[in-house]
Structure 1
């Protein structure tokens, strides 16, 4: 049967990877809002331990994305990394059910994020490998839409389960394992990797001289943006500080995921029709306006609108950026380039969170948002003149 026009160019592997991400994000976002509560309220860990755990987890993922991408290019295979990565993440989520002290949570989060680091770059490279260049933005947009649809459902399911289970967090961890293992089963049963044409025998290295000038410029611009792109936890804390309850903060976060999910696919299609840089510039501009509004105009009423509009930024940049990178590099180095992008921007985002915390504490709660908005506008201007 011929696919409708809107789905033209989305082959089986693209759909399988998208469904896999859908299941995984249901699981991940079920846990995202309750792990801090579990650590501090059930296990009695201080906030410093929460920061340590998340810092170790996210740093691990950021660094591994570079190495897994390079290894994937070297052996010219994507599927083993993807399947192993999703399996490890599923096991990490299951381990939370058995955690009775914070070091066990640290280990569980480390394994979960280790899995993300192993899978992310090869998965995105396979998405690019599987799509014709004229449909590449659509492929990444569809994948992000499915991923974020899972992120919409996860927190809502967590809120429902907490009501039904009368606040039993461990049972939520156990139930969250079900969609996680379904994602692994989807890969094992339906993902079929096609042989890549050539083989690389180059040593493992991340020397920028081997990449194109447009990629290096985009990585430079992305690095500037990342230095202001702190954790979304600061948006959540800003919302709480102006009077939103925990439940309403979670629901506002769901509003962000709804717009992100709904718009990723159309913005991906748009990036196939015009120069992708203009979509990314639009995303950076939206980010700057939202963060400036969080700094200056945030009220319990406007927070809902700001979170919803924030989803526009993610829809315009997340999948489109990876499609943009895939256009700039040869297939032999595609996973390496995406992994390097993940690694650099991920580590700088950790730096951004440290700076945001210092600005919040020693300047004003609005300061980190103004700082981020300025860097986003600089990045948008650089995109205009350098790309």
Structure 2
């Protein structure tokens, strides 16, 4: 039911497991909605990662930003989407149309890509990036809600792993495209931004044509009773015994959304995601650190995200399936331990020839063990009616914490250097992981039957 659970609530395992002929039911293939959303994310990530791969170098080497200035801009890049994510999640639940809100988000991000061709100073670039991240914030929670509502409770980790693997395929192709465009096209960065805009439009078209719009929450959804069962805490939902196959869901209001914060397990998830986010150095800073510590030449810089993306792509599905089997808490905390190992290598082994490869492998392992596991855990904690809102609550806290980390990391790097900044992040991550391990410890065995013993 949350990060400490093995997979799904106990009730989920009591769902029918036999076919009409008496044989066992084989797990269905990944839902078509998940595959369609994965395709949209793949195309959109090609577009986004083309920009992301060259942006740190463009801002620091091209526009001459200091690490502090880059930290502020990187914080805006991540912080704006965090603030908007909560709005996007609540709107999707309120209007009962997750695809519509996700489409608006994808469309806004696509419209912002060509504007980078006109922005050549810090102010305009900051505004364009803020608008682009607004689109990302709007689409993230509705998209993840669509994935969870299309998947049985016990297979959430695998479904998110499949989506993240497809998404990461785009993250793998985007830097490659940026690398070849920078080295072959006239116009350098402007050529990258122009091609990125065209690819982003294609992603919006695929969303409109192929993603089903009827995967909304409710008992008739693909997850069946297992998706409605966890915790039996469903603010504003009709009585659980209603026999009607597809009751008309009521609109979600702010009071019901706020009531999610009274769920102890959701609060634990939100707290731990925020704590760990405070000490998670952004990808852009990690790649700048690799270049600073190893002397990687500038023309190879856009290829650094490929190492992370390749490992993530290979292991996202196995990590999600492992989390469904052995426990989300274990896999989630192991991912942060791997990230801590990467920080340690950067601090103490800068002259190893294999250092860039080892750090990028650990970085990819970190994402494989955490990026899909966290929303899967949230999806098992909140009722379907408020699925997007619950995912947005946790995601917003995590992203705001990472926004603060970018600002602090950039400031410490500017004042005292890269090594003290990374050492502080590593020490903080070690402490926060220990706190998260305690907070997310397995719940007492029989919490669900308690109301029956004390009517």
Given the two structures, how large is their TM-score scaled by the length of structure 2?
A: 0.78
Cα displacement (A) at 1:350: 1.4
1:145 corresponds, among 161, 165, 181, to 165
Per the alignment, residue 362 of structure 1 pairs with 416
For the structure 1 residues 296 and 104, does the alpha-carbon distance in structure 2 shift closer, same or farther, using more than 3 Å as the test?
A: same
Shift of 1:26: 0.6
- How far apart, in 2, do the equivalents of 1:7 and 1:209 lie? 31
**Deviation at 1:55?**
3.0
Structure 1 unaligned segments of length 5 or more: list them: none
**Paired residues for 1:184-203 under 5 Å:** 184-194=204-214, 195-197=216-218, 198-203=249-254
Q: Deviations over 1:47-76 (max 9, x none)?
A: 665444433332221011011111211222
Q: 1:58 to 1:21 in 2, by over 3 A?
A: same
In structure 2, C-alpha distance between the alignment counterparts of 1:292 and 1:128, rounded to whole Å: 35
Query: Matched residues in 2 for 1:379 and 1:8: separation?
Result: 38
Equivalence for 1:371? 427
Deviations 1:288-333 (A, max 9, x none): 2222222222334212111112111110111011001100111112
1:309 maps to 2:336: no
Q: Distance in 1 between matches of 2:181 and 2:436?
A: 42
Q: Distance in 2 between matches of 1:7 and 1:167?
A: 50
Structure-1 residue corresponding to 2:297? 245
CA shift for structure 1 position 365: 4.7
Look at both structures and tell me which one has the larger radius of gyration over its CA atoms: 2
Cα drift, residue 134 of structure 1 = 2.2
Query: Is residue 401 of structure 2 the alignment partner of residue 337 of structure 1?
Result: no
1:284–1:376 Cα contact (<8 Å) kept = no
Cα pair distance change 1:176/1:343, threshold 3 Å:
same
Partner of 1:271: 323
Q: Which moved more, 1:357-366 or 1:257-266?
A: 357-366
Residues 328 and 24 (structure 1 numbering): CA distance in 2 closer, same or farther, change over 3 Å? same
Alignment partners' CA distance in 1, 2:374 and 2:406 = 22
More off after superposition, 231-240 vs 58-67: 231-240
Distance in 1 (alpha carbons) for counterparts of 2:404 and 2:137: 19
Q: Which moved more, 1:254-263 or 1:93-102?
A: 93-102
Moved more, 240-249 or 148-157: 240-249
Determine the structure 1 residue equivalent to 2:437: 381
Q: Does the C-alpha gap of structure 1 residues 238 and 51 become closer, same or farther in structure 2, counting only changes over 3 Å? A: closer
1:232 is aligned to: 283
Change (3 A) 1:51 1:305: closer
RMSD: 2.5
- Consecutive unaligned residues of structure 2, counting only runs of 5 or more, are 1-24, 219-248, 444-455
> Which protein is richer in helix relative to its size?
1
> Quick check: 1:66 aligned with 2:86?
yes
Equivalent of 2:130, from 90, 110, 113?
110
CA distance in 2 between counterparts of 1:365 and 1:56 reads 19
Q: Displacement, 1:83?
A: 0.7
Aligned residues: 383
Evaluate the alpha carbon distance shift between residue 48 and residue 89 of structure 1 in structure 2; reply closer, same or farther with a 3 A threshold. same
Deviations 1:28-52 (A, max 9, x none): 1111132344446666666665444
1:216 and 2:292 aligned: no
Q: Report the TM-score, using the length of structure 1 for normalisation.
A: 0.90
Q: Hey, what's the Cα distance between the residues in 2 that align with 1:221 and 1:7? A: 32
